[in-house]
Amino acid sequence: MFVADAPTTSSSAFSQTSDIARRFHAGVAPRDASRCSLCALQALCNPADLNAEELEQVDSLVAEVRSVQRGASLFRANDPFHSVYVLRSGSFKTVVMHREGREQVTGFQISGEMLGLDGIVHGRHLTGATALERSTVCVIPFEPLEDACRAIKPMQQHLHKVMSREIARESNMIMLLGTMRAEQRVAAFLLNLAERYGTRGYSATEFVMRMTRSEIGSYLGITLETASRMFSKLQQDRLVHARGKQIRLLDTEALARL
Amino acid sequence: MFVADAPTTSSSAFSQTSDIARRFHAGVAPRDASRCSLCALQALCNPADLNAEELEQVDSLVAEVRSVQRGASLFRANDPFHSVYVLRSGSFKTVVMHREGREQVTGFQISGEMLGLDGIVHGRHLTGATALERSTVCVIPFEPLEDACRAIKPMQQHLHKVMSREIARESNMIMLLGTMRAEQRVAAFLLNLAERYGTRGYSATEFVMRMTRSEIGSYLGITLETASRMFSKLQQDRLVHARGKQIRLLDTEALARL
DNA sequence: CGGTGCATTGAAGGCTATCAAGGTGGGTGG
DNA sequence: CCACCCACCTTGATAGCCTTCAATGCACCG
């Protein structure tokens, strides 16, 4: 195995081990799990310029750190909306239900990313969130969060950026689905995943995809067979090395040029 | 002509004229253009439960009411982000630039809807906004708006809903692009447009689309030829009456069933 | 060791893109 | 006022990408 398994695995598995990754593996999480001020993910999910007192306030926003089993739901479509969630470790998919029971994956989330914002409009979740592996999340009740955003300006700006980032992400997705062909979609998907792993201190060229071909296909608007074929094609063209869920990017520039 | 032209046309053009539509045509806009408290669109772009003093504050957020010619840009991709915009009359398209100069339409906006939120993340606009007809917008500098959101809770909640609505809208779009075939996409597009016109007091069954087939195609991830063919097919099947940009929905339930 | 879920690969067909040729309508200038 | 022009729309023929249906392989697990 040459790839990061989860934030809880040994750091030796990483080809590039950044500061963030090291802090991940220093064992911070278990004790004081709900103290943001001690969390390695702080840089990802908190505003940068908080003073001690403000950090204290942020700490108290986290009502709970919850563990979610693989396959379990954090929330389902149509559930009442009370909280947003920050993914501390593991990964999720968000899914919308089509009529006739068909479902579409609208996103994959990894550590440091936020879940549940879609519930604000109608007070109900529009998507469902399912863990792709055993994961832990910080539960942040939304009303207190809004209160904190009125009191602390950097906090407010941060929330707005998070929401705006989600808008931008979806815009990108719309462009992908609207203009790219299957091979380009898969390439873009891999590059995006790689970049996000890189940001978190993991290797940006070797990783394990926690999602199935079917979920990838659903996300990319193609069938699982087409997704599989594209992985095979990219491998044949020596752009990636793909063995099931283990991925190594061999030529990221060529991938981007597709 | 059996269809509303723009908010400034005579109300006799509407088959159903609601209260909002009537207020549109009462001539409120020209005088005191920047007074939200007097604006017919208030219900759409302001929180419901503001007291007089708070409304006063909201009024002062609008730095300017700007008129935009057909084809002109409100902002372009990569422009620095300073303000968000509420569309007072007319319509816009938002566009992202692909490499190689190709562009994709990511949304159409009509009166009461907000533009520019995509700029918050990076301080630069990711999309460009172009007027599809002569339009007027309220320019709302974002920093003062954030300030107001910290001071006035309903205001904050409203902004969050607007942003969340945008996230939900894009989620829907992702589902459309990921799972629907051309005919379904066009049907969904028409139903969505109809609903939004309906909300604004216009007829939900008869309207003029301000965008070209090419723009519709780009938005829906299909070619303009396919879009045109689908309009023809829907007409042949007696679900709509389409003559160029003039549209009448004949069987909305059948459209939804597609 | 068979069962199950997931991944891969092949063959055929359908949907949509592409290329191409009119058709239509609104605007402009003579 | 009318003819022309240009942008936009419609429609046809063909090609190609992707889906669908099907069979097989592979890893994990009770």
Cα–Cα distance for residue pair B155/B159, rounded to 1 Å: 6
User: Taking all residues of chain A, what is their mean pLDDT, rounded to a whole number?
Assistant: 84
Nucleotide nearest to A225 (CA to C1'): C8
Per-residue pLDDT of chain B (258 residues; tens, 9 = 90+): 222 333 333 333 333 344 444 444 443 444 455 677 777 677 667 777 788 888 888 888 888 899 999 999 999 999 999 999 999 999 999 999 877 667 899 999 999 899 999 899 889 999 999 999 999 999 999 999 999 999 999 999 999 988 888 988 998 999 999 999 999 999 999 999 999 999 888 999 999 999 999 999 999 999 999 999 999 999 999 999 999 899 999 999 999 998
Phi, psi for residue A179 in degrees, rounded to 5: -125, -15
| Length B124 CA → D23 C1' (Å) | 52
> A96-121: per-residue pLDDT in tens?
987 766 789 999 999 989 999 989 98
The pLDDT of A152-161, averaged and rounded, is: 90
Residue A38, classified by CB atoms within 10 Å of its CB into exposed (0-12), middle (13-18) or buried (19+), is middle
| Length A159 CA → D23 C1' (Å) | 51
What is the pTM (predicted TM-score) of this model?
0.84
Sign of the CA dihedral A33, A36, A37, A39?
positive
- % of residues, chain A, pLDDT over 70: 85
* Angstrom distances, CA of residue B30 to CA of B10, B66, B153, B187, B237: 15, 12, 30, 36, 44
Q: How confident is the model at residue A41 (pLDDT cuts 50, 70, 90)?
A: confident
Domain ranges of chain B: 35-172, 180-257
Is the Cβ pair A160, B174 closer than 8 Å? no
| Length B246 CA → D8 C1' (Å) | 14
Cα–Cα distance for residue pair B24/B9, rounded to 1 Å: 9
Is the Cβ pair A118, B167 closer than 8 Å? yes
| Length B41 CA → D7 C1' (Å) | 34
Short-list A113, A105, A88, CA closest to A195: A113
Q: What is the pLDDT, as a whole number, of residue A242?
A: 92
A-B C-beta contacts closer than 8 Å: 121
> A193-219: per-residue pLDDT in tens?
999 999 888 999 999 999 999 999 999
Q: What is the pLDDT, as a whole number, of residue B33?
A: 56
Is the Cβ pair A178, B218 closer than 8 Å? yes
Q: Which CATH architecture has domain A35-172?
A: Sandwich (2.60)
* Residue numbers in B near A220 (CB within 8 A): 178
Mutation target among B142, B150, B171 for the A interface, most CBs of A within 10 A: B171
Is the Cβ pair B167, A171 closer than 8 Å? no
| Length A220 CA → C8 C1' (Å) | 19
Q: Identical fold at A35-172 and A180-257?
A: no
Distance from the A13 Cα atom to the nearest Cα atom in chain B, whole angstroms? 33
Distance from the B98 Cα atom to the nearest Cα atom in chain A, whole angstroms? 8
B3: how many CB neighbours lie within 10 A of its CB?
20
Mutation target among A93, A143, A158, A179 for the B interface, most CBs of B within 10 A: A179
Q: What is the pLDDT, as a whole number, of residue B22?
A: 46
Q: What is the pLDDT, as a whole number, of residue B47?
A: 76
- Structure token pair of residue A220: 């990319």
- Structure token pair of residue B81: 């982000």
**From the C1' of C17, which residue's alpha carbon is nearest?**
B223
Q: Specify the higher pLDDT residue, A47 or A27.
A: A47
| Length B205 CA → D1 C1' (Å) | 37
Q: Over the Cα atoms of chain A, what is R_g?
A: 18
**If residue B85 lies in a helix (H) or strand (E), which one and from where to where?**
strand B83-89
Interface residues from chain A to B (CB-CB < 8 Å) = 96, 98, 102, 104, 106, 117-122, 126-127, 146, 149-151, 153, 156-157, 160-161, 163-168, 170-171, 173-175, 177-179, 218-221
* Residue numbers in B near A174 (CB within 8 A): 104, 106, 170, 173-174, 177
Q: What is the pLDDT, as a whole number, of residue B31?
A: 42
Who touches strand C, with Cβ under 7 Å?
A 212-214, 224-225, 228-229, 231-232, 242-245; B 181-183, 221-223, 225-226, 244
Residue pair A219/A189 in contact by the 8 Å Cβ criterion:
yes
* Residue numbers in A near B150 (CB within 8 A): 149-151, 153, 156
Find and list the nucleotides of strand D having atoms within 7 Å of a protein beta carbon. 8-13, 17-22, 27
Fold of B180-257: Arc Repressor Mutant, subunit A (1.10.10)
Q: What is the pLDDT, as a whole number, of residue A174?
A: 93
